[in-house]
Structure 1
Amino acid sequence: MTGTVMPGANVDRRWFKRFGRTGPAETRLFCFHFAGGNASLFRRWPQALPWYIEPVAVQLPGRADRFTEEPYERMAPLVDDLIEVMKPLLDRPFALYGVSMGARVSWALAHGLRERGLPGPRALFVAASVAPACDDCQWEWDGREDGLEGYVREMGGTPAEVLEQPELLAGLLPTLRADLTVLSTHGFRPESPLAVPVHAFAGTEDPEAHPERMRDWSKETSGRFSLTPIPGGHFFDEEGQEQVLRVITDELT
């Protein structure tokens, strides 16, 4: 998927979901979902965060209300288009939060903003994603005998009603495959690390992005790095989500 996106009200509604939050806030928090996921992951965040932090969930093409749109398969055009639609929203301080694939998208986005001389984030929050330094490692979905469907079942996070209905699962897999292609083909090697604080959240039982693999995110910043282990696996439960929200609130207060 390529092409220039012209900002506007309709574009804003397609890309950004606010889930009822109204009124000004001091800091915007752009939230990026995991591979195969969608912006509804952050539906309760507007009520869980204080008034001065406005969560803005990013909805990528190929899912939910953008199901008919072609998903991205490469990071560079995704970042290019994200920057175009985000420009009107860079008028106040902001931070980036990404889960799994979303962590890598937000990291690439932060570099893209810096390269263009645009405002950068106050902080980068990354969850459930191996650090870019681990890109030389084999991706967890490569070479599986049970294919992409087996990877989906093992990682969890996909509703049981989707896994139990072949037609729903078949509808999910193409978008998931495109999302994972974005990750596996992204060979970006920045000349210098970001100069913003990076905070990582790692599931203690996550087979893909456990705390030791996420500790290498410290190499991606010349600023402060911190890591919070979250009990559980790749997808955080409600208690884990609350812990993430508390840390973000503390960091942005």
Structure 2
Amino acid sequence: MGNRPTTDSPWIRRFRSVPQRRARLVCFPHAGGAASFYMPLSRALADSVDVLAVQYPGRQERRHEPFRTDILDMADDIAQALTPWADVPLVLLGHSMGATIAYEVMRRLEQDDTARLAHLIVSCRPAPSRPREHPADISTHDDVLAELRRLSGTDDQLLLEQDLIDMVVPILIADYAAIRTYDHIPEPMLRTDVTAFLGVEDPSVPQDDMAAWELHTTGAFTLRLFPGGHFYFKDDPSAMARAVSELLTPLTARL
């Protein structure tokens, strides 16, 4: 197991190679996030599941690449990169902005009749169909710090480290530009089952907005609530890992 890319695509990092893999979980980071954010979740999951994470340009080993600010264009490229991995059932899991990208990627993968698709998990992100306020205009250093504090995604002590701030600020500015310019196209609906995860103290996502994901699939839908806020699994991923494992168990048991 390693956290370096093991495929030719810079979009995909493979955290764990499972010889007798029966399903594959693909994790999509939040705005400002990187693939390594999902390392703790990967460690907490069963050994029968391959765990991949998407690496957006402009961070970690892709830090010298230009940022991408078009979610639909990113979804096109990520879907293409994931196609070779769809030889076993894929479960896509996206948190916050990552939920929107995972949703758009799943829509594209569903157009490939050979892809084996099992489930979409969306976390702490309003359904695309929900009326929403204009997303926050995050365009300055102070805007970024205020947003990080609001969502409690970064320890206040870390916000005092200038090197970290210098790295995070341009990433978040680019990612919020992508969120602001995302234009949802209603069709086609998903056929894949969808489960929505929500931290009940999330200041940015009402429960009704998560429940509205049901309107985006003809498959089954479930809403699961967790204690905590927007980053309810950041310090302890065990509850999320159990919930993900429950969804994966039918796949790993029958193959």
User: Is the shorter-chain TM-score for this pair beyond 0.5, marking a shared fold?
Assistant: yes
Relative to structure 1, is the Cα distance of residues 49 and 57 closer, same or farther in structure 2, using a 3 angstrom cutoff? same
Relative to structure 1, is the Cα distance of residues 191 and 143 closer, same or farther in structure 2, using a 3 angstrom cutoff? same
Which residue of 197, 201, 215 maps to 2:193? Answer: 197
The superposition leaves residues 68-120 of structure 1 with CA deviations (integer Å, 9 ceiling, x where unpaired) of 11121001221121122212211111110001011000000011122455525
The superposition leaves residues 202-246 of structure 1 with CA deviations (integer Å, 9 ceiling, x where unpaired) of 111111113222111111111111111111110014676222211
1:56 equivalent to 2:21? Answer no
* Alignment-derived partner of residue 137 in structure 1: 132
Amino acid at match of 1:96: L
What is the TM-score with the length of structure 1 in the denominator?
A: 0.87
Q: Aligned equivalents of 1:239 and 1:158: distance in 2? A: 11
Amino acid at match of 2:167: G
* Alignment-derived partner of residue 179 in structure 1: 175
Contact 2:89–2:118 at 8 Å: present in 1 too? yes
> How many pairs does the alignment contain?
244
Contact 2:100–2:125 at 8 Å: present in 1 too? yes
Cα RMSD for the two superposed structures: 2.4
The superposition leaves residues 11-66 of structure 1 with CA deviations (integer Å, 9 ceiling, x where unpaired) of 34x33223344423100010011110111111123331112221111111111121
Q: Aligned equivalents of 1:161 and 1:126: distance in 2? A: 29
Relative to structure 1, is the Cα distance of residues 143 and 168 closer, same or farther in structure 2, using a 3 angstrom cutoff? closer
Which residue of 24, 31, 34 maps to 2:20? Answer: 24
Q: Aligned equivalents of 1:152 and 1:110: distance in 2? A: 28
Which residue of 207, 210, 225 maps to 1:211? Answer: 207
Contact 1:231–1:240 at 8 Å: present in 2 too? no
Give the % identical residues.
30
Unaligned runs of 5+ in 2: 250-255
What is the TM-score with the length of structure 2 in the denominator?
A: 0.86
Relative to structure 1, is the Cα distance of residues 121 and 160 closer, same or farther in structure 2, using a 3 angstrom cutoff? farther
The superposition leaves residues 133-177 of structure 1 with CA deviations (integer Å, 9 ceiling, x where unpaired) of 12x311452489963331122112124454112342132111112
Q: Aligned equivalents of 2:183 and 2:121: distance in 1? A: 21
Contact 1:141–1:148 at 8 Å: present in 2 too? no
Q: Aligned equivalents of 1:139 and 1:152: distance in 2? A: 18
